[in-house]
């Protein structure tokens, strides 16, 4: 591999990012196909956000407890999780709502992760509530309580959701004088809330301006560009980790297959695809050849097809389990 001329990032890292982006895309496209083949009731996910989400996943210090990152994630975060090392098979299991789904045991929609050993708190369908729960892990990691803590809290969500109260709550709570919270705020701005264009509802020029009003550093970046994303995340994380104060990234991303399966999950041709753009750069810089990239794509499509076929053979949840885990470690009907 030649050293890239266009980039500041190490070619090995660029190749790794590319590999994960393709894998994430292949995973989401396989899940869309599963939906269309009646192998799952509902799909929504993150194709179009890979150029931002893979660099984020790769930079996370994952693990359990306050010294690691706490993640309060949106439902378009598959590429973050793959970047952290998630097995795609597990996402496919949730897509098919099998008993083996490790995130919810067949109870929740796809891309609704929960991985306690990595501090991934339950992804919820309720828009923006993750910005409220992020306050809490941020409080637990704040400097006034734990001066030596190095872990940080990361929260992401969509642009339309910023109209909800929790968004304002999180800005207020994370900037209380002397009690600032180590939170990396991310808004992935795809310019839509289902069918409603952001431009028809939001008068603020940048969502990041709202964060600026609270005195936190805030940037608006092109989240379809790998290197711009990597750099912004790196800087934001470093700031939060060292200063123990919040940092805000508004990342402009694409929504390649519409909102969800409810709107058809068909490819939106008007949306910019970060992958071919990145691949053109990689080719030009001599990091990867077209042939190599085609092989990667082929490999992951086969992987996902085979895994999806295997998932089909796995058991559905046991109807007698409906009361299990209403309370911690509880099983069976308890009242």
Partner 1 sequence: MANMAQAIRMALHYGEENLGVQEIFGEDVGPPLGGVFTATQGLRTTWNSPLDERGIIGAAMGLAFAGVRPVAEIQFCDYIYNTIDLLKLAGNACWSTNGDWNVPMTVMTPVGSGIRGSLYHSHSFDATATHIPGWKIVMPSNPLDAYGLLISCMKDENPTMYLKPKALLRVKGDEAIPGEPPLTAEGEKQLRDMIDAPLGDRTKWKPKWPKLADFIVPIGKAKTVRTGSELTIVSYGRTLPLCAMAADQLLKEGRSVEVIDLRTLWPYDWEALSESIRKTGRVIFVNEETEVTNFGEHLIRRTVDELFYELEARPRLLAGKFTPGVGLADTLEMATQPQLPNIVEMAREVLAERA
Which of 76, 96, 244, 245 touches ligand TPP by CB under 6 A? Answer: 76
> For the window 173-212, what string marks contact with partner 1 as x by the rule CB under 8 A?
x--x------------------------------------
Question: Token digits for 70?
Answer: 């706490």
Question: Token digits for 281?
Answer: 């750069």
Determine the Cα–Cα distance for residues 92 and 110; give it in Å rounded to an integer: 8
Among the residue ranges 11-19, 119-127, 166-174, 263-271, the one whose residues contact ligand TPP (CB under 6 A): 119-127
| 108 is a site residue for partner 1 (CB under 8 A) | yes
Does the CA dihedral 124-128-130-132 come out positive or negative?
negative
Q: Which is nearer to ligand TPP, 89 or 95 (CB)?
A: 95
Number of residues that bind partner 1 (CB under 8 A): 48
| 160 is a site residue for ligand TPP (CB under 6 A) | yes
Give the 3-state secondary structure of residue 193: strand
Question: Token digits for 149?
Answer: 């803590």
CA angle at 262 for the pair 37 and 275, rounded to the nearest 5°: 75
Q: Which is nearer to ligand TPP, 29 or 180 (CB)?
A: 29
Determine the Cα–Cα distance for residues 79 and 99; give it in Å rounded to an integer: 23
Among the residue ranges 9-17, 168-176, 220-228, 259-267, the one whose residues contact partner 1 (CB under 8 A): 168-176
> For the window 178-217, what string marks contact with ligand TPP as x by the rule CB under 6 A?
------------x-xxx-----------------------
Determine the Cα–Cα distance for residues 206 and 211; give it in Å rounded to an integer: 10
* DSSP track, 228-248: HHHHHHHHHHHHHHHH-S-EE
**Backbone angles phi and psi of 11, in degrees to 5:** -55, -35
> Which residue shows structure tokens 């940080």?
152
Question: Residues interacting with partner 1, by CB under 8 A?
Answer: 65-66, 70, 72, 101, 103-105, 107-108, 112, 114-116, 119, 121-122, 124, 126, 129, 131-141, 145, 153, 165-166, 169-170, 172-173, 176, 324-329, 334-335
Binding residues for ligand TPP, rule: CB under 6 A, are 76, 125-127, 157-161, 190, 192-194, 259
């Amino acid at each position: 591999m030649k050293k890239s001329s266009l980039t500041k990032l190490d070619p090995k890292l660029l190749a790794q990012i590319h590999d994960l982006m393709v894998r994430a895309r292949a995973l989401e496209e396989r899940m869309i196909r599963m939906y269309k083949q009646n192998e799952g009731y509902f799909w929504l996910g993150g194709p179009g956000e890979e150029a931002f989400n893979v660099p984020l996943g790769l930079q996370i210090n994952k693990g359990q407890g306050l010294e690691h990152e706490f993640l309060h994630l949106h439902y378009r975060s598959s590429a973050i999780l793959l970047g952290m090392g998630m097995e795609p098979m597990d996402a496919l299991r949730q897509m098919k709502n099998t008993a083996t789904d490790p995130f919810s045991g067949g109870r929740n929609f796809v891309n609704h992760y929960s991985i306690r050993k990595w501090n991934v708190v339950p992804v919820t369908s309720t828009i923006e509530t993750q910005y409220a729960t992020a306050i809490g892990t941020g409080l637990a990691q704040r400097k006034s309580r734990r001066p030596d803590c190095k872990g940080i809290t990361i929260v992401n969500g969509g642009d339309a959701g910023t109209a909800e109260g929790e968004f304002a709550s999180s800005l207020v709570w994370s900037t209380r004088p002397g009690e600032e919270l180590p939170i990396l705020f991310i808004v992935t701005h795809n310019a839509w809330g289902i069918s409603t264009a952001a431009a028809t509802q939001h008068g603020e020029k940048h969502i990041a301006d709202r964060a600026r009003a609270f005195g936190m550093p805030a940037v608006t970046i092109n989240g379809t560009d790998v290197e711009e994303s990597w750099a912004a995340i790196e800087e934001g994380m470093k700031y939060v980790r060292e200063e123990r104060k919040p940092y805000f990234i508004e990342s402009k991303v694409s929504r390649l297959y519409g909102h969800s399966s409810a709107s058809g999950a068909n490819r939106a041709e008007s949306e910019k695809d970060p992958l071919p753009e990145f691949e053109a750069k990689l080719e030009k810089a001599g990091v990867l050849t077209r042939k190599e990239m085609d092989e990667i794509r082929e490999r992951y499509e086969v992987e996902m097809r085979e895994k999806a076929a295997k998932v089909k053979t796995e058991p559905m949840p046991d109807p007698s389990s409906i009361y299990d885990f209403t309370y911690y470690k509880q099983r069976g009907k308890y009242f």
